[in-house]
Chains A and B, each alone.
Chain A
Amino acid sequence: MTPSRAVDAFVRRHRYRLLEALPWLAAVASYFVFPDYLALGAQILATTIFALSADLVLGYAGIVTLGHAAFFGIGAYTAGILAAHGWGEPISGLFAGATAAALLGFLSGLVVLRATGLALLMQTLVVATMVAEAANKASFITGGDDGLQGMEVWPIFDLFRFDLFGHTSYVYCLTMLFLCWLAARRIVHSTFGRSLTGIRENVRRMHAIGAPVARRRLVIYTISAALAGVSGALIAQTTQFVSLSFLSLERSGTVLIMLIIGGVGRLYGAFIGVPLYMVAQNRFSEIDPVYWYFWLGLLMVLVVVFARGGVLGLFDRFRQ
């Protein structure tokens, strides 16, 4: 490759490609093709934001976390508690959720991100567990084990009411996912995003060339926490319910699983893994309501055995 071609390739890298329209076409088409499944669709779209936020820290900055549910749950509880106490305006609720999650991400990141490897994994897990424990103890405001009841979410812009069939929810979640994706895509392709990849691939070299490693990790952790907060707030607003399971270790694990199934560090892994996992979960639990966990687990094991690197990794191998 001649230098100019190499530069060309680098410049073209962050131009929009035709293939990138595919998930959006599929999402819009699903709105018309599956009108009975819009509620599930809205959940999938909102969860995709969650997986996208996990991809930013895990796939790009190499921060392995088992505590991402903390940010998701804080976002959900913030939006939920606002709506239950007389402020049901959805857009500002999202912002409030994102801010609360970002704040928690920043503060916990200050402490947690000093560690790497297993210690980091444990620190994130411990933070999330403490947040879950706090939410459990503060049952006078969170509702504790019974979950948060009595949310009233107002129509978006005073125009679009949240209907029973999920039309508004679907479009609302799709719009938010699109905005979050634009933001994530910009971040990933910026020089900041490149330096994150550098940190993931070779921390020592990044230190050696004078990159502010700790600060960059903290910044992406905070941004990712904010996105996770948006996702949680969206799900709280569209389902009008928040429970302690939003903060659980299981939730943190599940988002990792969805991301790994799709493919990590590719920005699009979330768009494949989340629908695949959630549709499979939905189908299995309808076919076999008691033992669907088994089939889901089997699916995960099969992915590891036959499709290492997730579905997108499989595509790569086919192309080669």
Chain B
Amino acid sequence: MGDTLSAAVSIGFHGLAFAMVLYLISVGLSVTMGLMGFVNLAHGVFAMVGAYVLTSLMSRFGVPFLPALLAAAVAVAAASLPIERLLYRRLYGGDELDQVLLTMGLVFMSVAGATYFWGPLQQPLQPPAWLSGAIDVGFRTFPAYRSFLILCGAALVTVLWLGIERTRFGARVRASVDNLRMAQSVGIDTSRLFMTTFALGSGLAGLGGGLGADLLAINPSYALQNLAYFLIVVAVGGLGSIRGPFVAALLLGIADSGFKYLLPEFGAFFIYALTMAILLWRPRGLFGRA
């Protein structure tokens, strides 16, 4: 009995950590796809760049962990602005296939670019001393870094949700997702809004990629390897939804760590079968609008 409970706790713990990373990375994608109707297969690139910036700031320039994390998010958000203005904006409301071609092209360029700047090998993340080791909470211990990851994720999610629900900016975003034309006709500058939300989503992805560097290994083909995960979170959660992807990420994270623990041989099958079943039951995702 004690063993079962302990297994359940560790599945829940690791699942939660993974879910936080998945959510931080995917929420921006959900908004891009829901708000701008843009199939952005290159979203993982932002997460990858965030992770690379974090590790190189720490290992090459000796920047402490937290400032480096912040810098990674800001750098990715800033870098995403010209990409949105110069490339993505041309294709809003355009043909999906052109969007697929453009974003796959960016993914290919990112693979080569990452190899050029950081080499083909996997980049390790060295957590700072205060986050290595374990935290003892009395009845058992938890790895410190993952605990930090969960807390940090939970804090960001709270801020994000409050921002969307309580601020004027959040109201604009919600209005535009609900009805783009109506939002434009009441005077919301949707072009600017797209740009800001895109940068915000990319920055969050960069942050998520950096935080989750020990869960999703950083290497040049990161964006391609993890694309299916991000798309599953968005499709299961529901396009344009802020909360949906969180539930989807929780489901995916916990199911993933559970199946890997209980049935390591066939874990992936169950994840995919679960995804299929949910999408058959609700084609627009758990929180998608009909």
Residues of A within 8 A of B (CB): 58, 64, 111, 114-119, 121-123, 125-127, 129-130, 133-134, 137, 249-250, 253, 256-257, 260-261, 264, 290-301, 303-305, 308-309
Asked if B266 and A115 sit within 8 Å, CB to CB, the answer is no
- Distance of A290 Cα from B276 Cα, bound (Å): 38
Q: Which chain B residue has the least Cβ–Cβ distance from A120?
A: B283
- Tell me, in angstroms, the Cα distance from A297 to B111 when the chains sit together: 9
Mark out the residues of chain B between 208 and 249 whose CB falls within 8 Å of any chain A CB in the assembled complex. 224, 227-228, 231-232, 234-235, 239
A214 to chain B, nearest CB (A): 14
A-B contact pairs, 16 of them (CB 8 A): A111-B276, A114-B280, A115-B279, A122-B231, A130-B272, A253-B41, A256-B97, A256-B100, A257-B104, A291-B112, A294-B116, A298-B105, A300-B105, A301-B109, A304-B101, A305-B90
Please give the distance in Å from A300's CB to the nearest CB on chain B: 3
- Cα(A261)–Cα(B115), bound, Å: 26
What chain B residues lie within 8 Å of A123 (beta carbons)? 276, 279-280
Q: A292-B112, A297-B106 are in contact. Are A133 and B276 (CB under 8 A)?
A: no
Chain B 94-151 interface residues, beta-carbon cutoff 8 Å to A: 94-98, 100-102, 104-113, 115-116
Contacts of B100 in A (CB 8 A): 253, 256-257, 260
**Which residues does chain A contribute within 8 Å of B96, judged by CB atoms?**
64
Question: Are A293 and B116 closer than 8 Å at their CB atoms?
Answer: no
Chain A nearest Cβ from B236, distance in angstroms: 8
Docked-complex contact B109 and A119, CB < 8 angstroms: no
Interface residues of B (CB under 8 A from A): 33, 39, 41, 87, 90-91, 94-98, 100-102, 104-113, 115-116, 224, 227-228, 231-232, 234-235, 239, 265-266, 268-269, 272-273, 275-276, 279-280, 283-285
- A118's partner among B33, B104, B115 (CB-CB below 8 A) is B33
Across-interface contacts of A290 in B (CB, < 8 A) = 112, 115
Q: Does B115 lie within 8 Å of A122, measured CB to CB?
A: no
- The 5 lowest CB-CB distance pairs between A and B, nearest first, are A297-B108, A300-B105, A294-B112, A297-B109, A293-B112
Shortest CB-to-CB span from A172 to chain B, Å, is 31
Tell me whether B283 and A116 are in contact (CB under 8 A): yes
What is the bound-complex CA distance between A305 and B102, given in angstroms? 8
Pick from B90, B111, B265, B279: contact of A122, CB under 8 Å: B279
> What is the CA–CA distance of A133 and B107 in the complex, to the nearest angstrom?
23
Which of A64, A117, A134, A294 has a CB less than 8 Å from the CB of B109?
A294
Task: Among A121, A293, A300, point to the contact of B111 (Cβ < 8 A).
Answer: A293
